[in-house]
Homo-oligomer: A and B are copies of this chain.
């Protein structure tokens, strides 16, 4: 992946490959797997069909490359900042909401969900690049604070899922179901803040065994 020997014929090949993947991404996300033909991909990328077959052995391989490289654009985040629980959760929550709000991510989720029966291994990628990093961040925060005695969280996994669920259920589902749906940045921030308040209120509150 680094700046290897460059071999100036391979350079062109990589450029062509990038063009193919870009065109395939746009077409797959717009039309879905079946309705996207290799001919259209070749046409849109300005590459001959023969080149396409030399670069990718099959349509499935091209689809897989498209998903993989799309995910890689979502992994540019640096680790969450240290600080108190409220600030930490707010930061993670806002990033999570921002990820789920991107139109490109929504379309990617849609096609991955649609094609999961045919590409079951994509579920792992969906988890590892989507929910998992945020889940682990939330989990880490809650666990640390629990051990510090600030909060009392018996089921950390459940609490983290609750937190992310309160956000995704508001931000993600409408964008996934209604094409072109937009949630204002202010509303997103408000939703995240309320989610943080709810989690804190639950697990920082004195134990109420009578409920």
Contacts and interface: CB of A to CB of B under 8 A. Distances in A.
Contacts of A155: 194
Interface in A177-193: 177-179, 190-191
A169 B177 contact: no
Interface in A27-55: 30, 32, 34-35
Given A177-B126, A177-B127, A113 B114 contact: yes
A71 interface: no
Contacts of A169: 161-162, 164-166, 168-169
Contacts of A198: 162, 198-199, 202
Interface stretch (A7-15, A18-26, A115-123, A141-149): A115-123
A62 interface: no
Interface residues of A, number: 46
Q: Which DSSP category, helix, strand, loop or mixed, fits chain A's interface? A: helix
Interface string A85-121: 0100000000000000000000000110111110010
A117 B167 contact: no
Contacts of A195: 162
Given A126-B177, A162-B194, A164-B169, A35 B32 contact: no
A161 B197 CA distance: 15
A4 interface: no
A201 interface: yes
Contact of A161 (B114, B166, B201): B166
